[in-house]
């Protein structure tokens, strides 16, 4: 059974304080790993897809990396507007559905 | 603007009542999904549909029903058999049949269902 575990559950940062969120996964074969951002009371918004170990993608202050067992979402010099819940999801080689982690709730204080 | 529209934003269910959540997309996507989100938990798949007139159960289908009569519409009915329906419900869609592709999901803005 596919498993996706995100840590920490919640993270509080000061503006400008860089950090990383972790997504550990267990699948028989990875077809894709997806990162989403979700604001309170809204639907998740797509950020990145990673397909193979060693791949990296960047968008503004966010950088996602992938190894064979986990993915990291690095946040460089965060701003208060980066506050949200970040969700990780995986799709295995033989499947069509996504399995989501429980998310990391990020709060960036000014 | 293309996107996914969910309605209503808030919905209240009385004991023994069936309620239907609407999901419409104008992205011309083949696949559509319903997820349930509870506080502190990941998104859990209720039902999904890869093509019109076909749908499959997800991980927590009991107490729910769906239909896919049109490509753009995928309504979810929460029946009286669902004993704990209070949750945030999210509809999503993706281009192509994801058994064949590896497309990302696009999400609607959600419906908060509460029990009176």
Q: Dump pLDDT digits (tens) for A41-78.
A: 999 999 999 999 999 999 999 999 999 999 999 999 99
Q: Model confidence over B1-56: pLDDT tens digits?
A: 679 999 999 999 988 899 999 999 999 999 999 999 998 888 999 999 999 999 99
By the CB < 8 Å criterion, does A60 face chain B? no
Please write down the long-range contacts of A50-56, taking CB distance under 8 Å and 24 or more positions apart. A51/B102
Q: Cβ B42–A103 below 8 Å, yes or no?
A: yes
pLDDT score of B116 more than 90 = no
- Of B27-31, B50-54, B75-79, B96-100, minimum mean pLDDT range: B96-100
Bridge partners (DSSP) of residue B37 are B88
Which residue, among A6, A36, A44, A101, would best test binding to B if mutated, counting the most B CBs under 10 Å from its CB? A44
Reply yes or no on whether the pLDDT at B102 is more than 90.
no
State the Cα–Cα distance between residues A31 and B102, nearest whole angstrom: 7
- The pLDDT confidence band at residue B87, using thresholds 50, 70 and 90, is very high
Q: Does A43 touch chain B (CB under 8 A)?
A: yes
DSSP secondary structure code for residue A39 in this structure: -
Among partner residues B42, B102, B108, which is closest to A102 by beta-carbon distance? B42
Nearest to B109 among A42, A89, A99 (CB): A42
How much is the pLDDT for A94? 74
The per-residue pLDDT of chain A, averaged, comes to 94
The two tokens of residue A30 are 């990875």
Mean residue pLDDT across chain B: 92
CB contact under 8 A, B98 and A91: yes
| Tokens representing residue B94 in the block | 């993706």
Q: Do B98 and A97 touch (CB under 8 A)?
A: yes
Q: Which of A89, A86, A91, A95 is nearest to A32 (CA)?
A: A91
| Cα(B66)–Cα(B46) distance, integer angstroms | 9
Residue of B27, B37, B42 to mutate, testing the A interface (most A Cβ within 10 Å of its Cβ): B42
Q: Which whole number is the average pLDDT over A15-21?
A: 98
Contact of A57 with chain B, judged by CB distance below 8 Å, is answered with no
Q: Are A82 and A17 in contact (CB under 8 A)?
A: no
């Amino acid at each position: 059974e596919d498993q996706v575990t995100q840590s920490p559950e919640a993270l509080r940062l000061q503006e400008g304080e860089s950090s990383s969120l972790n997504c550990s996964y267990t699948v028989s074969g990875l077809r894709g790993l997806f990162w989403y951002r979700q604001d309170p009371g809204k639907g998740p918004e797509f950020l990145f897809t990673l397909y193979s170990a060693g791949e990296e993608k960047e968008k503004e202050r966010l950088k996602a990396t992938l190894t064979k067992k986990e993915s990291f979402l690095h946040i460089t010099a965060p701003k208060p507007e980066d506050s949200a819940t970040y969700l990780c999801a995986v799709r295995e080689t033989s499947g069509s559905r996504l399995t989501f982690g429980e998310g990391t709730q990020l709060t960036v204080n000014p | 603007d293309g996107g996914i529209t969910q309605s209503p934003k808030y919905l209240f269910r009385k004991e023994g009542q069936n309620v239907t959540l609407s999901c419409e997309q104008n992205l011309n996507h083949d696949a559509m999904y319903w997820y349930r989100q509870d506080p502190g938990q990941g998104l859990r798949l209720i039902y999904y549909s890869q093509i019109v007139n076909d749908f499959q159960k997800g991980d927590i289908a009991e107490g729910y029903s769906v239909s896919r009569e049109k490509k753009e519409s995928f309504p979810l009915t929460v029946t009286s058999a669902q004993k704990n329906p209070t949750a945030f419900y999210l509809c999503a869609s993706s281009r192509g049949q994801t058994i064949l592709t590896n497309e990302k999901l696009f999400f609607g803005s959600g419906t908060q269902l509460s029990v009176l």
